Structure 1
Amino acid sequence: MSHILVTGSTAGIGAEIAAELTRQGHRVVRHARDESRAARTRAAYGGEVVVGDLASLDSTRAMADALRGLDPFDVVVHNAGWSSRDSTRPVTVDGLERTFQVNALSAYLLTALLPLPARLVYVSSDSITRATLRLDDLQHERSWTADAAYADSKLALTALAFAVSRRYPKLLCNAVHPGWVRTQMSGDEAPLDVAEGAATPVWLATSTAPDAMVTGAFFHDRRQVRLNPQAYDHQLQDALVERCAALSGVPLPPADA
């Protein structure tokens, strides 16, 4: 039995990832944005729920503090994500673009603050095929659209996953596109249900099959795929890590951690 954290796990793909891991007998800690969502999640699923607003650096740090008070995690699934439905660039309490902060920077910060697990799974998106990572404008201060912000944030998340895999080669650290899944974010026109979307993240979190026992790869439907060459650029990965460290005020643990 593994001890597993799944962020963004009150609804959608994250809720199903947590549910399937629980069905498999693992001890799962869910994550909710606020106390009201946490209460509903405890009532619906039981178990442990940690609260943290990933659009706030202070709240994310407090969440990490609470998680460090629990038993160390064997696996962390960074599933939390956000996409704007407005045409106005959203800004958080920290003065950062919300899509980037929730989808990428918060995963960096939690990775930096939590003890390193044996496996890390970063839930990305095939939207990275149309993304461009611009380190001089990570937060789209010069131009902003919801679609570009989402795609670019997921490319940043993927590049971070690969940077982490290089920094800590003893871990299994991968990114995954779950597919176009029917959720509140994607809408009813998506072809896949949440169980299909959760299947590969769960597999990466738990399987001992040779195909899953790798690191630094991007998966879809349990197969490795390559969707954007920028994600594999080591120099860009390292520069992105430095930028995230500066924005969050927290460096990654030493490479021998």
Structure 2
Amino acid sequence: MSKIFITGSSDGLGKLAAEKLITQGHEVFLHARNEARATATLEKIRGSKGICIADLAEMDQVKSLANQVNELGKMDTIIHNAGVYHAEAPSLFQINVLAPYVLTALIEMPEHLIYLSSGMHKGGKPVFKPESLNQLTYSDSKLMLTTLMRIVADKFPNSYVNAVDPGWVPTKMGGANAPEDLDAGAETQVWLAGIDSPSTKVSGEYFKHKRIRQSHEVVKDSIYQKNLIHLLQDMSGIVL
């Protein structure tokens, strides 16, 4: 069985994925924003191996989270599930893009690395200049994250690095009237994280409902990739 860490696992898709993976017999480590949410999460999710605490909106806490995870020993799989939708541009960038970048750079590379993207990334603009970050949209942030996935996949060929579109599902982020099934929204990341088969041993792909889908064309654009990685390195002070 695999050793798995999931960011943003106190509710929504992260919680559901954790519960499914625990049921499959995996060793699952959780993440919550603060002590109160950690306590509540451990009461809701039975059978986890522990929980790490960090507010991804604070860079010092992101670095602390990386240290916490490394102290647990190498993970087989990491799911970057945490994200925000109803937020100002600086928070969208920090939580949806910069935090997963820093965690990727600082945590020992697992065999499977999964980033939660969105179909909305296809409507995003390829932002790479610091002066443009104050106008960043959710779609822009998910385009950046999906492109980061491709960069990491190319840089670490011994790992399987992919992005997942969970669909528009009824979570706090998606809203109660979201039209797609919540359970189906978690199935692809659970499948990639927990099933050892040739079909999950692919890298650099964008999935929805266990199928490879077409991502925004700039995700594979080497010029945008180069500009984006320079931005992330400059904004964080950390080299991938």
Instruction: Flag whether TM exceeds 0.5 (same fold).
Output: yes
Question: 1:14 deviation in Å?
Answer: 0.6
- Residue 235 of structure 1: SS of its match in structure 2? helix
Match of 1:108 in 2: 101
Letter in 1 for 2:212: Q
Question: 1:35/1:139 Cα in 2 relative to 1: closer, same or farther (>3 Å)?
Answer: farther
Where does the alignment leave 5 or more consecutive residues of structure 1 unmatched? 91-96, 253-257
| Correspondence 1:49 to 2:42 | no
Match of 2:146 in 1: 158
Match of 1:172 in 2: 160
Question: 1:189 deviation in Å?
Answer: 1.3
Confirm or deny: 8 A CA contact 1:82 1:103 kept in the other structure.
yes
- Residue 135 of structure 1: SS of its match in structure 2? coil
Confirm or deny: 8 A CA contact 1:174 1:217 kept in the other structure.
yes
- Residue 31 of structure 1: SS of its match in structure 2? strand
Where does the alignment leave 5 or more consecutive residues of structure 2 unmatched? none
Confirm or deny: 8 A CA contact 1:207 1:213 kept in the other structure.
no
Query: d(CA) in 1 for partners of 2:68 and 2:132?
Result: 28
Query: d(CA) in 1 for partners of 2:178 and 2:133?
Result: 27
Question: 1:193 deviation in Å?
Answer: 3.4
Question: 1:5/1:162 Cα in 2 relative to 1: closer, same or farther (>3 Å)?
Answer: same
Question: 1:38/1:178 Cα in 2 relative to 1: closer, same or farther (>3 Å)?
Answer: same
Confirm or deny: 8 A CA contact 1:100 1:138 kept in the other structure.
no
Confirm or deny: 8 A CA contact 1:175 1:219 kept in the other structure.
yes
RMSD: 1.4
Query: d(CA) in 1 for partners of 2:99 and 2:226?
Result: 17
Question: 1:239 deviation in Å?
Answer: 2.2
Confirm or deny: 8 A CA contact 2:129 2:231 kept in the other structure.
no
Match of 1:124 among 104, 117, 142: 117
Match of 1:74 in 2: 76
Match of 1:20 in 2: 20
| Correspondence 1:251 to 2:239 | yes
| Correspondence 1:204 to 2:204 | no
Query: d(CA) in 2 for partners of 1:34 and 1:5?
Result: 17
Confirm or deny: 8 A CA contact 2:93 2:133 kept in the other structure.
no
Match of 1:255 in 2: none
Question: 1:139/1:27 Cα in 2 relative to 1: closer, same or farther (>3 Å)?
Answer: farther
Question: 1:192 deviation in Å?
Answer: 2.7
Query: d(CA) in 1 for partners of 2:162 and 2:117?
Result: 10
Query: d(CA) in 2 for partners of 1:138 and 1:161?
Result: 23
Match of 1:94 in 2: none
Confirm or deny: 8 A CA contact 1:7 1:79 kept in the other structure.
yes
Using the TM superposition, name which of 51-60 and 190-199 deviates more: 190-199
Q: How many residues align?
A: 238
Using the TM superposition, name which of 158-167 and 63-72 deviates more: 63-72
Query: d(CA) in 2 for partners of 1:67 and 1:213?
Result: 24
- Residue 137 of structure 2: SS of its match in structure 1? helix
Using the size of structure 1 for normalisation, the TM-score is: 0.89
